[in-house]
Amino acid sequence: MNEQITADAINAAGHLTIGGCDSIELAKEYGTPLVVYDVSRIRSQIRAFKRVFEENQVDYAVSYASKAFSAVAMYQVIKQEGGHVDVVSGGEMYTALKAGFSLENASFHGNNKSYDELVLAVKNHIGVVVVDNFHEIELLGQVAEELDAHVNVMLRITPGISAHTNKYIQTGQVDSKFGFDLESGQADQALEKVLANPRFNVIGLHAHIGSQIFEVAGFEGVANKLVSVADHWQKKFGYQAKVINVGGGFGIRYTKDDTPLPPEDFVDAIIKAIKKAVEPTDLGTPAIWIEPGRSIAGPAGYNLYTVGSRKDLPGLKPYVTIDGGMGDNIRPALYEAEYETVLASDPQAPLKEHVRIAGKYCESGDILSYDQELPETKPGDVLAMLDTGAYGYSMASNYNRNPRPAVVFAEDGQSQLVIKRESYEDLVHLDQPYELHD
Ligand code: LLP
């Protein structure tokens, strides 16, 4: 049996349950493909992160990186858990506002924030703008002036640390589009500029080294680097950083080959590294912020699909095709990401064959899984792909004009639709007929 499915996630009928709800019933009620979140897992991960900070008695923010999964319902849950969020676009800010989430508890990230986005952020009293480049310093200065506002800012630096992860999701190495470079003196120049603007309150510094990282060393490295920069800034400019934000990136288990530490153990190591690094300095203990996305949303999510066609080839793994694919989960095609999948009606059924789980999109690379051991399956069976909650729905597309799936939150045995399934009408509602020339 799949080791990720615990005995309490199987009900009397032998079906997989999610948030106490029968997955087969969910598939029937809402249709497939369907994204289901076990809300209690979102909550428990946020609480686990908070607990580590509280046990270590440091000021902190657990800032959920909402690019992992952004929806009104998600911001509501984060708000209820007393969390902070990281937003990277006007759309994410707008969604948070729709959820009644105060942007005072949000950090605004991005390497090319637009004037309009900065206006939206500042008008809504954004908690902090994580300033990424010189253009933004000017633009934000202009916006603050026009709106007669004061803005908290934090400088994003490129720490020169390259995390051991897929190259598409590395961000901390020197040759990166994000943040101010240290070696060339850009970060110092940026600090001088933001300190010189009386409309800015410079609260600290930030770095993010990548995503799906398994080694603690990368995080200890970034913690040490940020403290050394803060120390240098204090000595050179008399500037006292109040916040050190080490970003996100805590790796999660997708398959049995992944053996990450519990996400909160990374945080424990970061806190210890920062406490040790500040000892010989005059920095005191700064507040420590983290920005976990995947580790909060990922393990909480399941994608339910219905099996349709099948292609058998002599001597090759069969293609078992489901009713979704790269439109609802681009990660296998984009990053060669791997997942584990179970038969929802009987996750304990003896495994019979290795198959490829193919999507329905017109593209040979639309394979969600290249080697999944499954029991015998037939058309109509429901498959549950595990740990799909991060960067699945949030990267979904309408490729082939397939509607995006519905999203359901399940908790305490009750389910609620939180994002409707797109209809064909939704697909054409932005289209305008072209007035054909005769
Ligand atoms: N903070 C910053 C500044 C980030 O850029 C990111 C992710 C995070 C926090 C959250 O990282 P996490 O804890 O989720 O690893 N689409 C890719 C992941 C891109 C991550 C982008 N930045 C994927 O599907 O793997």
Q: Which residue has the least CA distance to atom 8 on ligand 1? A: 248
pLDDT recorded at residue 164? 63
Mean pLDDT of 237-250: 97
* pLDDT confidence bin for 175, thresholds 50/70/90: confident
The reported pLDDT for the residue numbered 290 is 98
Give the model confidence (pLDDT) of 213-223 as tens digits. Answer: 999 999 999 99
66 C-alpha to ligand 1 centroid (Å): 9
Tell me what the mean pLDDT of segment 279-294 comes to.
97
Q: What average pLDDT does the chain have?
A: 96
d(CA 293, CA 209): 13
Q: How far is the CA of 166 from the CAs of 88, 153, 170, 338, 408, in angstroms?
A: 21, 30, 7, 12, 30
User: Is residue 21 annotated as a catalytic residue, yes or no?
Assistant: no
Chain segment 68-77, per-residue pLDDT in tens:
999 999 999 9
Span 359-380, average pLDDT:
98
Cα separation, 269 vs 53, in Å, equals 11
Angstrom distance (rounded) from CA 340 to CA 321: 15
User: Rounded to whole angstroms, how far apart are CA atoms 108 and 117?
Assistant: 9
Span 297-354, pLDDT tens digits: 999 999 999 999 999 999 999 999 999 999 999 999 999 999 999 999 999 999 999 9
pLDDT at 4: 80
Residue of 66, 67, 387 best suited for mutating to test ligand 1, as the one with most atoms within 8 Å of CB: 67
Catalytic residue among 13, 174, 362, 428: 362
Asked if residue 318 has a cis previous peptide bond (ω within 30° of 0), the answer is no
Q: Which of 46, 66, 88, 294 to mutate to test the pocket of ligand 1 (most atoms within 8 A of CB)?
A: 294
User: What is the spatial distance between Cα 430 and Cα 415, in angstroms, rounded to a whole number?
Assistant: 31
pLDDT at 263: 87
Which of these, 267, 173, 183, lies nearest to 232 by C-alpha position?
183
**Pocket of ligand 1, beta carbon within 6 A:** 65, 68, 86, 109, 169, 171, 208, 211-212, 247-250, 291-295, 331, 335, 390-391
Q: Any residues with CB less than 8 A from the CB of 425 and at least 6 apart, and which?
A: none
